[in-house]
Structure 1
Amino acid sequence: MIEPVSPVPADRLLIAAAQLNPVVGDVAGNAARIRAVRDEAKAQGADLVVFSELFLCGYPPEDLVLKPAFQQACRQAIEALAAESAEGPALLVGAPWVDNGRLHNAVLLLEAGRIAAVRYKVDLPNYGVFDEKRVFVPGPLPGPIPFKGVRLGVPVCEDIWGPD
């Protein structure tokens, strides 16, 4: 999954990209995949492991994300992964996230045993097989996430296509 890398100087950030196929609806199985890749990346010396959009629940989740029990399962999995992140590496995980009663397509930075940052997808597609506007609320235009002395821009999918 992760190619071995040469040692990285202390003034650099080593980021592992998790190129996996999550299973739609399999929160527990996808969380297990996150843990396995995290452990492999830790052995490689990674500072951060980046997962794809809505990796935790699989994409596209469609109506599954409207079910409160599914939303709760996703939240519990994120909270457990966050608690396990104390020893590193940090994780950047895509997941559905409810904030103030509003459901978002989110990316969460899990670092130092906590949820360190949350950013929401802004440009929700609504064409072809994509029906995100029906199930998600767009977030505000996100700012970068501070991480180990750098600022991480974390646009989600179509967010990177716009000028902002």
Structure 2
Amino acid sequence: MGLTSDEIARLFGELGPLIFQRALRLLGGREDAEEAAQEVFVRVLRAADDYDDRAKLLNWVYRITTRYCLNQIRDRRRRQELMMAHGPREDALVTRRSPEAMLTVRRLLATAPEDEAQAAIHVLLDGMSLTDAAAEMGISRRKLGRLLDAFQQFANHQVALVGERSS
């Protein structure tokens, strides 16, 4: 049983601000976040007939948003390859969220393997617990830990490469 048009409108009214905030955090720009929120709901409309589990509706829309934003970040990266050479030198996994730090994080997410990027987003950006992030991704905490370790190694390597190019 899919979603009706009225349900989609209600869903957009209820979840639109949350989806927008998530997209804004990941993409960094208001226009990009607005476009992402609209695109996510276009995708929800297209897939609504195939969706049955209303109990997990927020998770479903949340996953669509994350994937869309990751793709946008990757596309942006492809268009702006030179930005990597001039990026700030910071620890790869930042705890503060300055614009420079978020730019570094977005660049790393654009090039990281998708499962590692999703793990990093849930835990490092969204502040989810390991248990919640593992449940959201449908994996064990152990697997999540391995993904985060792999992302840490990847991020440290990438930041080191940028530092070498800048020297």
The TM-score with structure 2 as length reference comes to: 0.32
Specify which structure has the higher proportion of strand: 1
Which has more radius of gyration? 2
The TM-score with structure 1 as length reference comes to: 0.32
Specify which structure has the higher proportion of helix: 2
